[in-house]
Amino acid sequence: MKLSLFLLLILNLNQHGHARIRDYQTTQMIATAGAGIGSIDTINALYANPASSGYKPQTLFYGQTNNASMSDSSSQRASNDHLFNAPAGQSFALIDGNRSSLRGGLGYTQYREGHISRRRYTFSSSALSTGNFSMGFNYYYTSDSSTHPGYEYRRSFHQVNYGLTYLISPSFTFGLVYQDVFKAQSHLQRMLMGTELILNPTVSLLFDWGVNPHRSQSTSRFMAAAIKLNFHGNFSIKAGLQQDRLWNSQSLAWGLSWRIAQLTLDFAMNQMQSHHLETNPIIYPNEKLREVSLALSYRF
């Protein structure tokens, strides 16, 4: 009952935003080109599937930084775009899952992309409803503003994402996420589903698919696939590719993860390329955006 009242309050307070800026991703999901909705990963619960933290009773602190650079600048880039900001940002989170069956976390993200600067506060909660089925939700409070000289833009809005994760077998998981339930930014809303298949202790495969429910598949379809190679339980290599019709972009990515006792260090690099100017406000045709991300987490 309390949860229903809380969500209705968010709906009444919400202000519709129209800024086109991609959602912030964890270093782990950057390494897999956005695939990971079906993975059981504690930190991704704050940024991707809120139900994915339901299976691991652990407490951790997480910090991440992102930076990017542009190459092959297009001749179509407008002369007043010389102040374009390549994506960059930082994020910090605390996850607490040891105290009860209800697990959750808090996060703060400061991020910029193009001419938009974003601050986001996140609350996430999840719980196991059965031994192999987890449900959860994310609440975001987001504040966007313009970094472009002479252009005033400022908007704040509230969002809620629902997620579920189903452990079909010890080697196969399925995840489903309904983003932005109350349509604060309906033009960027998505329904996403993903799977993770563990072939053996070394090799895992990830597949994600999604679509904007208000647009056709041909203009909003999202697809991502990735592979993870695990070595000795404390070192892994990841690689993935993505096609995103909503942003008219395609990406190639790779990353490394190294666990030392209670510390985990993650590194990722992603290269995005666009082919259609009119639907991608970040990069122009034939330009390449190279993003680098580094994260550190500590498990208590």
Domain locations in the chain as residue ranges: 2-299
This prediction's pTM: 0.87
Task: Give me Rg for the CA atoms of the chain.
Answer: 19
User: Which pLDDT tens digit goes with each residue over 74-92?
Assistant: 666 655 455 566 778 899 9
**Assigned CATH topology for domain 2-299:** Porin (2.40.160)
Torsion of CA 175, 180, 186, 190, to 10 degrees: -10
User: Which pLDDT tens digit goes with each residue over 126-154?
Assistant: 888 777 899 999 999 999 998 777 677 89
Containing 31, the helix (H) or strand (E) segment is: helix 27-31
**DSSP per-residue codes, 148-168:** STT---EEEEEEEEEEEEEEE
* Residue pair 142/159 in contact by the 8 Å Cβ criterion: yes
Least confident range of 98-102, 163-167, 186-190, 231-235: 98-102
Determine whether 70 is exposed, middle or buried from the number of CB atoms within 10 Å of its CB (0-12, 13-18, 19+): middle
DSSP 8-state secondary structure symbol assigned to residue 23: P
* Residue pair 192/215 in contact by the 8 Å Cβ criterion: no
